[in-house]
A and B are shown apart, each in its own frame.
Chain A
Amino acid sequence: MSEQDVTVPAADESARVEQVAKPADKKRGGLLKGATGRNLGLVIALLALCIFGVITAGERFASIDNLLTILRLASIFGVVSIGMTFVITGGGIDLSVGSVIGLSSVWASTLATQSMAEDFHWIIMVLCALGVGLGAGLINGVLIAYGKVVAFIATLAMLVAARGLAEIIANRQTQVVKVDGFLDFFRSSPIGVPMLVWIFAVVSVAGWVLLNRTTFGRRTIAVGGNPEAARLAGIKVKRHTMYLYALAGLTAGIGGVMMLGRTTAGSSTNGQLYELDAIAAVVVGGTLLIGGRGTIVGTVLGVLIFATLRNVFTQNNLSISAQAIAMGVIIVVAVLLQQRIAERSRAGT
């Protein structure tokens, strides 16, 4: 079947997209309880963690200050996880986000960028970081969609290359941010909530709307579930795949800006291993690693679970190596528990 066959009027196209997305939707329809069940499982896990925290650390854990500490920790890799949710839902993977955080934080804090920001407005630093993230994501997307390079390899190459470029730009030194407007913005906390947490909230809501309420989201699910069927339905699969990686790059760029705001310094070592944290949060959240199903709510819960875990561990002064083992065990238990609950609710219908 040639491409021409698939060129259909726009109105018709969205109807077809609906059709392609349907099989997945139908499965989800049967699983509707399953989807809520999965999230319910995560909420229960999070609550259990909090109860454990309150029992073991009491008011130290339950204080507002501590809650904000957890949220601040969660916000950077939370934003990156939202972008990762789209890529994974679309059947791909992006290993480069951590390096792109490092690269964008370095690029946005060079002397040149900073002096430009001093002359015009600090927003230049933000735009620079977002541009770098978007650019890296686009390169990934083009390589994967049009160059037919496997996502794992293309983004692995970006992981290495972006880190190297960041080292060259920074001359392997830490670049301290001295632009007051930028620092003041990220130090502020409107209505008592730190700016980083606001950004995480806005990105999460935007991600939810994009995935669940727009054609873009439905196309993402269709492309991840069955690319061939999606193509036959008139979705430009290649272009859409490219968009997904660009989106992940953009969230990594946002993460880079947040990193700059939080640490007041750009360094090529920023964001190391964030790709693994993000993938873990997305998968624990219930997004299918093979694509075709994604949940932003689940991802946010996954992110919060990991951040809370770290906090509870430190509160209880557990030995460092024991913490790492416990973390691994909890990932496996969380996923097993989710599957159980999902199966049970499927059996119930």
Chain B
Amino acid sequence: MSTAMRRKWLAAAGTAAALALVVGCTSNTPEAEDTGEAQAPAAAATGNDEPGDKVVIGFSAPAADHGWMGSITKSAVAEAGKYEDVELVQAEATNDVNLQISQIEQFINDGVDAIVLLPFDGAALTEVAIKAMQAGIVVINVDREFEDPDAARTTVLGDNYGMGVSAGAYICGELGGKADAKVAEIAGIDSLPLTQDRSQGFEDALAACGLEVSNRVAADFTVQGGESAAANLLQAAPQLDAIWNHDDDQGVGVMAAIENAGRDEFIMVGGAGSKNVMEAIKADDSVLKATVIYPSTQAADGIKLARLLVQGKSMSDLVEVEVPRTVQLYAPVVTKENVDQYLPTAFES
């Protein structure tokens, strides 16, 4: 074997070994605990779960650029997988409305039975959704609302204003009658209407007990954004009594900043309800005392409703024969006392 040949072999072997190492290191699945989570919310089986006519559901959602959005798609796919009569057609996750519109057009061409759509921008997807409805396809709108009520048969929504109210009411209860208490708020992306709704609810609930937001900063739902926003906030406010952080994904960064600053004189309330935040609440060894849920299972509910609608079934716990027009989900406060109830549906961030 010539030197050149040997060198080639060595290089090849080296590459293969490196590849094997890299591939071996990519797994993120915790060894044991993952099994319980997949079928965790074991809803009581009803007659509705009996296999019926085959339903083809098209699903489209924005890019999974943070944990909550990732969980939206993951839980929708998992839910569809539970039914042998559901075939889920997934479109590429995208933040480009142009591409998302063409995905819906493709679903219309393909003649799917139903479309579950979390639009990147509700207004931009309205027209194509109307087209789908006119083509006789059941459209389920998730989380971000269309401009026109005719664009969807049923809408599944979280409660952003309610989230703010829940967080504010909890902080009111914890701080008691402390008149000059300092309350800070770390918002998500300020441009989104949902952020404005959350802040409004928070402000209104605090006002009810005579408190107000003394410091407010905005991050961007990312870990690094949360870190820098919180670091600035802590610098600006030497003494705090409570913080509400809108989003548990950015909360990872917020907690890092709090630890770096060595601060623990306040209580912190999270938002959205990620698994690691709930575990921190359960362990009760940090400033995190509570979080407010914004369900990441909305699209999974959308899948279930789409199946019912196409198969002509009704929601078995309601007297009403038809599936409701709007389903708005509740934003409960999770504390150490009730955390076990919510942990199974928490999302990994």
Contact = CB atoms under 8 A, between A and B. Distances in A.
Given A69-B105, A172-B191, A310 B98 contact: no
B61 to A, nearest CB: 9
Interface residues of A, number: 37
Given A60-B110, A259-B98, A262-B98, 10 more contacts: A69-B106, A73-B99, A167-B191, A174-B121, A263-B101, A264-B123, A265-B124, A267-B97, A313-B92, A314-B91
A11 interface: no
Contact of B102 (A72, A174, A317, A319): A72
B134 to A, nearest CB: 13
Contact of A272 (B64, B95, B190, B191): B95
A76 interface: yes
A114 interface: no
A173 interface: yes
Contact of B127 (A264, A313, A320): A264
A76 B100 CA distance: 13
Contact of A323 (B73, B92, B122): B92
Contacts of A310: 92, 99, 102
Nearest to B110: A60
Interface string B87-127: 01111110111110111011001100000000011111111
A314 B109 contact: no
B98 A76 contact: yes
B193 interface: yes
Contacts of B147: 176, 265
A273 B96 contact: yes
Interface in A242-265: 259, 262-265
A267 B106 contact: no
Interface of B: 64, 73, 88-93, 95-99, 101-103, 105-106, 109-110, 120-127, 147, 190-193
Contact of B106 (A66, A172, A176, A270): A66
Given A63-B109, A265-B121, A268-B191, A317 B89 contact: yes
| 9 closest A-B pairs by CB | A172-B191, A263-B124, A73-B102, A265-B123, A174-B123, A65-B109, A69-B105, A265-B124, A320-B93
A310 B60 CA distance: 13
Nearest to B58: A314
B103 A314 contact: yes
B92 A314 contact: yes
Q: Is the interface of B mostly helix, strand, loop or mixed?
A: helix
A263 B121 contact: yes
A215 interface: no
B97 to A, nearest CB: 5
B290 to A, nearest CB: 29
Contacts of B123: 174, 176, 263-265, 267
Name which of A60, A263, A313 has the most chain B CB atoms within 10 A of its CB. A263
A310 B102 CA distance: 10
B101 A262 contact: yes
A63 B111 CA distance: 13
A268 B192 CA distance: 11
A36 interface: no
Secondary structure class of chain A's binding surface, majority of residues: helix
Nearest to B87: A317
A74 to B, nearest CB: 9
Contacts of B126: 264-265
A172 B188 CA distance: 14
A323 B94 CA distance: 12
Interface string A73-89: 10011000000000000
B106 A311 contact: yes
B92 to A, nearest CB: 5
B27 to A, nearest CB: 14
B106 A320 contact: no
A269 B120 CA distance: 10
Given A174-B124, A265-B121, A265-B124, A317 B90 contact: yes
A56 interface: no
A263 B89 CA distance: 23
A314 B106 contact: yes
B97 A270 contact: yes
Given A69-B109, A310-B99, A264 B191 contact: no
Contacts of B110: 60, 315
B90 A319 contact: yes
B73 A320 contact: yes
Contact of A60 (B93, B103, B109, B122): B109
Nearest to B107: A314
Contacts of A173: 191, 193
Contacts of B91: 314
29 contacts: A63-B109, A66-B106, A73-B99, A73-B102, A77-B98, A172-B191, A173-B193, A174-B121, A176-B147, A259-B98, A262-B101, A264-B124, A265-B121, A265-B123, A265-B124, A269-B95, A269-B120, A269-B121, A270-B97, A273-B96, A314-B89, A314-B91, A315-B106, A317-B88, A317-B89, A319-B90, A320-B73, A320-B93, A323-B92
Interface in A150-191: 167, 172-174, 176
Contacts of A317: 88-90
B219 to A, nearest CB: 15
A259 B95 CA distance: 14
Contacts of B122: 174
Contacts of A268: 191
Interface in A287-320: 310-311, 313-315, 317, 319-320
A63 B96 CA distance: 25
